[in-house]
Amino acid sequence: MHDDRTLVEDRLRRVLAERIRPAVYPESVPLEVAVWHAPGEPVPVAEGLAAEPRPIEVGTRWGAPWGTSWFRVTGTVPAAWAGRTVEALLDLGFDQDLPGFQCEGLVYRPDGTPVKGLNPRNQWVRVGAPVAGGERVRLHVEAAANPLVLGPGPTPFGDKETAGDAPQYTLTRMDLAVFDETVWQLVLDLEVLGELMAELPVDSARRHDILRAVERALDALDLQDVNGTAARARERLSAVLAAPAVASAHRVSAVGHAHIDSAWLWPLRETVRKVARTAANMTALIEDEPEFVFAMSQAQQWAWVKEHRPEVWARVRKAVSRGRFVPAGGMWVESDTNMPGSEAMARQFVHGKRFFLDEFGIENEEVWLPDTFGFAAGLPQIIRAAGAKWLLTQKISWSQTNAFPHHTFHWEGIDGTRILTHFPPVDTYNCAMHGSELAHAARNFREKGRARHSLAPTGFGDGGGGTTREMVARAARLRDLEGSPTVVWETPAAFFEKAAAEYPDAPVWVGELYLELHRATLTSQAKTKRGNRRSEHLLREAELWAATAAVRTGFPYPYEQLDRVWKTVLLHQFHDILPGSSIAWVHREARATYARVAGELEAVIAGAQRALAGEGSRELVFNAAPHERDGVPAAGAGVRDAPGAGTALSPRAAGGYVLDNGLLHVEIDARGLVVSVRDLAADRETLAPGEAAGLLQLHPDFPNMWDAWDVDAFYRNTVTDLTHADETGVGEDGASVRIVRVFGDSRATQVFSLPPGERRLVVDTEVDWHETEKILKLAFPLDLHAERYASETQFGHVFRPTHTNTSWEAAKFEACNHRFVHLEEPGWGVAVVNDSTYGHDVMRTVRTDGDRGTTTTVRASLLRAPRFPDPETDQGVHRFRHALVPGAAIADAVREGWRANLPERRTTGAHDVAPLVTVDDDAVVITAVKLADDGSGDVVIRFHEAHGGRARPTLAPGFVFTGITVTDLLERPLAGAPEPVREGERITVRLRPFELMTLRLRRP
């Protein structure tokens, strides 16, 4: 037989495009259109509906960037269409290939009832099926003229203050049209079979069976009468569509999905509307499609619908009650997981899970983070402590260097906790049920021979409309189709139950899930990162002092205020806000929000401390850190011990200055660079020979693709050491050294100080930054040989190699730490602590001359200057504090990290303040002291082992309590937890390395 395969395939493509798809809507009539452009920000629905619009013609430009226009469309169904299905086709000027990144609309009836969202792949609104003819049609569209902000170059559209007012879109189509469902079904038949055929081997019998069936269908179709012959063509395809899948076929669990970034290339206020449009769309689809299941994560987005769109919320609640609209993930937002601190990461689950429990009585057992940029090694324990046990993500498939070896596996965190984890092999969280996607999932699935199930998040995200009726129709054909994976709609929980049952001995991955991409998100938008770090620590203080004052003095504990502020901070940990990858508008608002949060929390702290200290003239120091400091107990207040011998500052013989406090001897040369830091007790030099610490280094920073997201390894090829000092001198306190350096269009001021009685060199850096496409680093080259180093993460620390033996190690050339990194030789180590930075790198070289020792350099990443999506990223004044701590064990690193982030507070009062609870082991860090969220007055204490060893601490509450309960993060009794031992007013527990524990103490 002659091979005419390509002839038939080419025929299919042309006939589908030019004859069959246009016949889905064989008849149409124009609608009358009028528009009202809302001034300024979006208006309430009632105001938009009541506004008086002006006529507008199709083909007219509309929509200033970030503006809102209310379209009114009216018309009459022709009498001749009686008995047929009629839809309104409303094209606002969409680009078909960019769902979620352009104009969008939400359709309302005249009474304000929301109908569905409008998007590039979802422009229809059902008018009637069937119609009687003569019906009067009136619809309103709230249309958002969101500008296209996809880059890659700089754009003024990232902020309404710079976007201008030129119209962005052209009104393209506003029609009533007859919808021919038979032709529509034929389109789907042919699309599914054509896509399947393209994925099958050329020499397979199944491919040729489909080919001949398609040929027969096309032969049966009269191209001059597609609508009249579509049914006949469908009959020719029925046999190949009915052929069942083979028993070994891969099995795909389809989950309706619309990944919506809580902010990114649009501001938070627009996400509120994106979520409403998507929820309206998906509840409408649920009504039409009995098997369809849709999952939505991020409790914050559910809360927005409840607050801002009660009509949509009512539909959502109904769909949830039927098990069709599924709360997923159990987090407040799909947050970054690398940078949030221990308590913040815990509260993501507390507030997320509690929302779904309170609203629907639903307990989430899965964590849903398809788009997050890598996962910290402390996360599995937090997931378990929140009552969840599964994790889904997809982003790791974006890694540039190494292909992750598993799709279904157990992920083990720093404390040994394991979580069943799934990476969908479809490699997208916007699956459209195309044959190529499903074939890729089946081929790509790495668990073949041991497991057969994978998950496919299905639908357009970011306001692109979610799942479409076409996707549902494709899935119906793929339910059981020879040559294809099988497809079934089901919830994430149903998928994970199946995956766990079929693969109980799944492989184990230990440690962080590092994304080999988007490493610069640890540095971009430094003020957003400082705001986050400062807010986390202020929240700790506010809860601690308010709880202490409530128990001791009856101070009114600000439950509602703290709840609201926590949710605000958690929202800003979303994985495009805290990572610095959103437009200028988002980060401008974030800076204002963090300032407001700081003001509120400072007021709570001050009020609680006044209540605790009482009226008096004694100078008291409040210490919110989890360790005693200068005689003041942890989480208490008292008179600080007098410091020991002061710090001596003297000229250096070769130029520069010497600082000495009896513990460290520091030399700063004439260039203003630290050239020696000697640990006097150990008689050991900290810095590598010939190297300088506190060194600012400037690199070009122009990654190959994602400006704000990426820093590529080649940035290291070129470096400028900022060694020229424009000013050197003694600091204002007379005991520090101040250096000013001018470079490019920027200016850096550094102050080096050596606090009396403390073994740490403090480096305060202020940068007035006006560079473009550069990255600024702060270097500490150490004379220290270590094959690994420790970085603080949630509830502990993670070890990373200092070498690059393998491609996996080489790929981690930029990584995350919280308050410290620590390097150690047996018996002596060094810590570098910070108050607001996260990105860093560690490099090692062996010196080829002299002592041939090892130089290990720790560099903190301070600032970047990408042009997209915010062309003004990091421009302006920034302040950083770092400290170099020679002779530090891991215990010192932990303690100094807290010291740098929780400075003491001074006030006057009548008496000392005893801690609400103390612990007798420095290895055990109390991360939260608060009153229980349920308003009972119980005290909740959360703590963890921080050094990586076992501990048997004893806690001593400073108040009367009647009972002890070990709880989960939601402050509920934890089933199976070992009972603490109570002896009088003391409590003893046992902790594994890095184990976290939450105790709830009942008060009478």
Q: Hey, how many other C-beta atoms are within 10 angstroms of the C-beta on 838? A: 25
Distance, CA of 338 to CA of 580 (rounded, Å): 13
- Length of the chain equals 1004
DSSP string covering 77-95: --GGGTTS-EEEEEESS--
Q: Read out DSSP for 507-569?
A: -EEES-B--SS-GGGGTSSHHHHHHHHHHHHHHHHHHHHHHHHHHHH-----HHHHHHHHHHH
Q: Please measure the distance between the N-terminal and C-terminal CA atoms of the chain and give it in whole angstroms.
A: 90
DSSP single-letter state for residue 398: G
Which string of DSSP letters, residue by residue, matches 801-868? ESS-SSHHHHT-SSEE-SSEEEEEETTEEEEEEESS--EEEEEEEE-SSTT--EEEEEEEEEEE---S
Name which of 588, 573, 582 is nearest 707 in CA terms: 582
Residues pairing with 34 in the sheet: 55, 72
Helices (H), 249-375: 268-288, 299-308, 310-321, 342-360
Long-range interactions of 225-234: CB distance < 8 A, separation 24+: 226/19, 226/20, 226/23, 226/183, 227/23, 227/26, 227/180, 227/182, 227/183, 230/20, 230/23, 230/180, 230/182, 230/183, 230/185, 230/186, 231/182, 233/186, 234/182, 234/185, 234/186, 234/189
Q: Give the H/E segment covering residue 470.
A: helix 469-477
Q: Which two tokens stand for residue 314?
A: 């009512």
Backbone torsions φ then ψ of 819, nearest 5 degrees: -90, -15
Contact 750, 738 (CB under 8 A): yes
Closest to 570 measured CA to CA, from 600, 545, 543, 536: 536
Per DSSP (E only), the strands in 691-827 are 695-700, 720-721, 727-730, 736-743, 746-753, 761-769, 774-783, 788-793, 796-801, 815-816, 820-825
Distance between CA atoms of residues 460 and 457, nearest Å: 9
Which secondary structure element, helix H or strand E, spans residue 177, and what is its range?
strand 173-178
How far does CA 923 lie from the centroid of its chain? Answer: 30
Question: Does residue 371 have an active-site annotation?
Answer: yes
d(Cα 331, Cα 299) in Å, to the nearest integer?
6
Report how far residue 687's alpha carbon sits from residue 823's, in angstroms, rounded to the nearest whole number: 13
What are the tokens at 408? Answer: 């279904």
Pairing, β 684-685 against β 408-412: unpaired
- Active-site residue, from 371, 563, 630, 768: 371
Reading the block at residue 364, the tokens are: 């989430």
Q: Which of the residues are catalytic? A: 371
